[in-house]
Amino acid sequence: MRQTVRPCPICTSRNNTVLFTQKFVGGLIHNIALCNRCGFVFVNNSPRQTYYAKYYEKMSKYEDTRDFQLHKDCVKIIEQFINKSDRIMDIGCSTGHLLYLLKTDGFKNLSGVDPAPRCKEMAKKKYGITVETNDLFNLKSGTKKYDFLILSAVLEHLDKVTLAIHILGSLINDGGKIFICVPDADNFYRNFEEPFGEFSLEHINFFGKSSLHSLMYEFFPLYVSSDGKAIYSVWQKDGGVRNSMVKYIQLSQSKMDRINRVIDAAPERIIVWGAGSLTERLLSTTNLAQKTIKLADRNTNLQGKKLKGIDIIPPENLENYKEPILVSSFRFKKEILKDIKKLGLKNKIITF
């Protein structure tokens, strides 16, 4: 068994402070460390994931009934976010008891994955549930993806949690959901009996709500709650700032394509009403500057100045011009059109 220095599994920083050292029989030592950058608490010298994979294959203790109440609590939440037709997979499913609870409630498209070989046999025999002997890091996304993934008491065991979340994202459809249940490290100090019992041989990540949000930053939180012992959460794939930004950029580019077509179709000489940030961008990124003879704006701080060498004049001066007026604003378009009407301007109006 080889123990190596482990960076923070959430932010990858190697700057951490050891809070406690837990020793085990066989020479295994866990340094419980606090990341000085993001505040996550984790074991900073855990063996590689292969060590734990072998442990779960040979020493798994999750085939008994100790988690049955936890499964019932999980199912109450999960059923609020799934449909009967959803393709559902429980990763780290043990003998498939949680899936069995869903099965008894009428869900049929169910499967599980667990690294312990005995779980496959017991799941089929006891519950009629199909379980694949495998671990998360060896799962490969196919053409047929899942609608809902379940990870109950799994993430606290994994060496590379960000890689795990990336793999999960590749396994679900757009709009698919992930249920995650982890021990609530925010509340370890409340009403415990066994000293240092939470620092078990198998637990190498200690999540609170904030660290779980940090890990799942590419997903949208649909549900996050705690009963003081465990954090229960549901996350949707097509949420998160990153995906939101990608969609925003794509939709903005589509609108820009339409704006470009309007500008290209405009006459060779036009007046642009609006000298704000939109016009600044258009003067720099389109051929608007080549067609614009004057800019007009109500902002007296802009009047008398130039953009791209083009004079900014008060709207009242437009009575001296016959060229078409391009309204370069989305936010104030209605107000500008009203002003044009009040001024009695007869110029042709172009809008985006």
Q: Is the pTM of this model over 0.85?
A: no
Q: What is the pLDDT of residue 340?
A: 97
Beta partners for residue 131, in sequence order = 112
pLDDT digits (tens, 9 = 90+) for 229-280: 999 999 999 756 777 788 899 999 999 999 999 999 999 999 999 999 999 9
pLDDT bucket at 208, cuts 50 / 70 / 90: very high
List the one residue out of 352, 323, 320 whose CA is nearest residue 337: 352
At residue 50, does pLDDT exceed 90?
no
Reduce the DSSP state of residue 31 to 3 states and report it. Answer: strand
Q: What whole-number percentage of the chain has pLDDT above 90?
A: 83
At residue 61, does pLDDT exceed 80?
no
For 132-143, what is the mean pLDDT? 88
At residue 64, does pLDDT exceed 60?
no
Please provide the DSSP assignment of 87-108 as one string: -EEEET-TTSHHHHHHHHTT--
* Average predicted confidence (pLDDT) for the chain: 93
Residue scoring higher pLDDT (194 or 51): 194
Domains, the chain, with CATH or none: 48-239 (3.40.50.150), 255-351 (3.40.50.720)
Lowest mean pLDDT among 91-100, 138-147, 200-209, 328-337: 138-147
Beta strands in 291-348 (DSSP E): 292-296, 306-307, 310-313, 325-327
At residue 88, does pLDDT exceed 70?
yes
How far apart CA 18 and CA 28 sit, in angstroms, is: 16
pLDDT digits (tens, 9 = 90+) for 279-312: 999 999 999 999 999 999 999 999 999 999 999 9
Helices (H), the chain: 49-59, 68-78, 97-104, 117-127, 161-171, 209-215, 241-265, 277-285, 288-291, 333-342
pLDDT bucket at 67, cuts 50 / 70 / 90: confident
List the one residue out of 109, 2, 108 whose CA is nearest residue 46: 2
Contact (Cβ atoms closer than 8 angstroms) between residue 9 and residue 31: no
At residue 56, does pLDDT exceed 70?
no
How far apart CA 277 and CA 102 sit, in angstroms, is: 54
